[in-house]
Structure 1
């Protein structure tokens, strides 16, 4: 335990002990000779300190009855009257009463907390450690570690996924290099293997580039100042970047919607987000069809909707498509050349701009991804209405 952490825990437990002594010994002090109550500044300050402590603190006696609980603890819903409602907390307090100190993580049910399941780190400390018999009160100090544990899990998964994703193209490049060496006297084979090497190298470069982009978007670098950005220019640049891939798959990209919208943002990030949505639509479209992109103003936001008539997304996968490295159909990863990062980048671009991205999809009918970015000024704010994500995109004022 670091000196700083030890100091904080010492202060917390000192406050708990002081408050415990104050409440359990009221009859011994705080009175004048004639029996009149005399307020003690030390008692008031100790109780005030206890109530203002950010960690949730509960003190239970030898019979596991709650004798003290600060507002933070009661807000968690773990205390009712003199009862501690979570069996795991009772077990930890009993272990601390026997062993002097115990630590552990305890999961609080969502219906108990009222805001979804929470994970709390608990430090249980016996307060009468100087006595020979473990029969005194125990203090439980609870700190919400839900987000910290989630971030740790995401970081572990991210490192594992990056290793796996990098291993695939690197391994392919090594095998193809050996194949070229063994086919040195076969020009056609060399040309074929060289084309595959170029493909894998491009995939590796794209993966590294998107990892860098994602790192920047997640806080690795400060977000540039938001400035007015012309949505029409964003759409034109994104379509231009995607047109070659669309033509290779015999797809048309159609642009429509409301022209002249202006948002506040970073143009390069917005172009990347729309490009990723278009590239995703192109990759998962089937047959000779078209991909549509349209913008409109609604409820103070510019909504940029990208619609395809492709294979669609199964219902069970829709809430996960914005996760890093997640692919609905792993078997199509090599054929589409996707890294599984494109939609995650879109999500972070939207978040950094104070917006959001949503998806509507039906298997066999296609998908509509809608990027919502705040408009630049009050003059651009339209009347409220139904979000475009509720139904597939309809093109109005279509322009190519």
Structure 2
């Protein structure tokens, strides 16, 4: 009897202890949940919402508590994880030292690491347990600055050559004042270098003007037939000097929207480039046609052609396939760069087809303006002008 009573008391005590332990466990669990709630300092969320920069807030174990849409767009955050170890290293140092850090980093963009993004990152403690990362996209600014510095360096180098040559030739002429034949020879060389220097300065001025042009605001309907005719006319003298015929074939029925002077400059440079590299007593063909809402202009020469591995770079500033030949022809290395820049400003594209020994065809495509049919200006384009491809443009331009 006593044993049964003791057993009952022990069971009752164990039951009461179990209930008490359960309630204590529930209370501790609720307290842990409440402590774990991410609570930002008062006003922090409002400030971050208007700051205009990508931001990420991480906790004591670098878990993402909050991040802006821009942070995800930049590829800094994926899910609740900071992607880049460089950023995690910064947060670790700030958490340890309590000192604000600022760095400019070049980071892979996207999960496959294709492409990079340059960001100015500022990392600072926020509250007692959070770290704030502010990121500003500096990719375009940094690359533009690098291009500008590279352009200045290239211009300095390109100007140095003709200026130095003119100076040296002037000294030589002065020393050979009694030798009439030598004076004439060196004066002719000086004149050639002066022409080259003038062309280079003119192209640099032209390129600077193009970069400041706003085609969207200043544009108007442009008749490319008239533009091509003027570009051909401006190249008649250098063509005649090499006994080169410029043959124009086809016609465009619809205008394009843009700046007539800029388009003329681009097409003049394209034809000038063909004349420079075409052999004497040959033809340069200019073909015009419409295709699927695009005005297509092809310029074909019978020059030495361009190797396939060089074709990707010929539109770069100051790039020359054959530097020695460019000096001989008087090229500045800016002509095709100007062409590409102008055509891109007008929403078009320029491409090249070339084979060594078979000449080259440069093709410009620009969107035509849509016009009402009742104005009688948007009629069907003749089938003979709707051909496409490099071979068609070569045949149309050369044999027209």
Whole-angstrom CA distance in 1 between matches of 2:147 and 2:119: 18
Q: Which residue of structure 1 lines up, in the alignment, with residue 117 of structure 2?
A: 118
Cα contact 1:355–1:372 (8 A) shared by 2: yes
| 2:67 is aligned with 1:69 | yes
Q: Tell me which structure has the larger Cα radius of gyration.
A: 2
CA gap 1:68/1:382 in 2 versus in 1, 3 angstroms: farther
CA shift, 1:179, in A, is: 0.8
- 304-313 or 174-183, larger mean C-alpha shift: 304-313
1: CA distance, partners of 2:332 / 2:303 = 19
Indicate conservation of the 8 Å contact 2:274/2:299, yes or no.
yes
Residue 231 (structure 1) aligned with residue 245 (structure 2): no
Report the alpha carbon displacement of residue 224 of structure 1 after superposing the two structures with TM. 7.4
Q: C-alpha separation between the residues in 1 aligned to 2:82 and 2:363?
A: 46
Deviations 1:153-201 (A, max 9, x none): 0110011011111111110100000010011011111111111111111
> Normalising by structure 2, what TM-score?
0.79
After superposition, the Cα gap between the structure-2 partners of 1:48 and 1:318, relative to the gap in structure 1 and judged at 3 Å, is: farther
Name the counterpart of 1:244: 237
SS in 1 for 2:218: coil
- CA deviations on 1:2-60 (whole Å, 9 max, x unpaired) are xxxxxxxxxxxxxxxxxxx996249xxxxxxxxxxxxxxx97x8646645654221122
Q: Is the contact made by 1:361 and 1:368 (CA closer than 8 Å) also made in structure 2? A: yes
Residue 214 and residue 23 in structure 1: after superposition, are their counterparts in 2 closer, same or farther (change >3 A)?
Answer: farther
Give the equivalent residue in structure 2 for 1:24. Answer: 38
Write out per-residue CA displacement over residues 235-258 of structure 1, whole angstroms, 9 at most, x where no aligned residue. 222222223322333332211123
Contact 1:55 1:141 in 2 (8 A): yes
Over 3 Å counting, the alpha-carbon distance change for 1:56 and 1:211 in structure 2 is: same
- Residue 225 of structure 1 deviates from its aligned partner by 3.1
Deviation at 1:266, TM superposition (A): 2.8
Native 8 Å contact 2:290 2:386 kept in 1? no
Cα RMSD after superposing both structures: 3.2
Alpha-carbon contact 1:105-1:119 (below 8 Å) kept: yes
* Counterpart for residue 328 of structure 2: 335
Q: Which residue of 1 aligns with 2:84?
A: 86
Q: TM-score, normalised by structure 1?
A: 0.79
2:306 aligned partner: 313
Aligned to 2:166: 173
> What is the rounded CA distance, in whole Å, between the counterparts of 1:212 and 1:321 in structure 2?
20
Among 356, 368, 372, the residue aligned to 1:363: 356
In structure 2, the gaps of 5 or more residues are 1-34, 372-376
- Larger displacement relative to structure 2 (139-148 or 220-229): 220-229
In structure 1, list runs of 5 or more residues that go unmatched.
1-20, 27-41
Q: 1:68 Cα shift?
A: 1.9
DSSP-derived class of the 1:328 partner: coil
Local SS of the residue matching 2:212:
helix
The 1-side partners of 2:146 and 2:189 are apart by 35
Do 1:231 and 1:263's aligned partners in 2 also have CA atoms closer than 8 Å? yes
Partner of 1:108: 107
How many residues are aligned here?
Answer: 358
Matched, 1:280 2:284: no
C-alpha contact 2:244 2:281 (8 A) present in aligned 1: yes
Aligned residue number for residue 156 of structure 2? 163
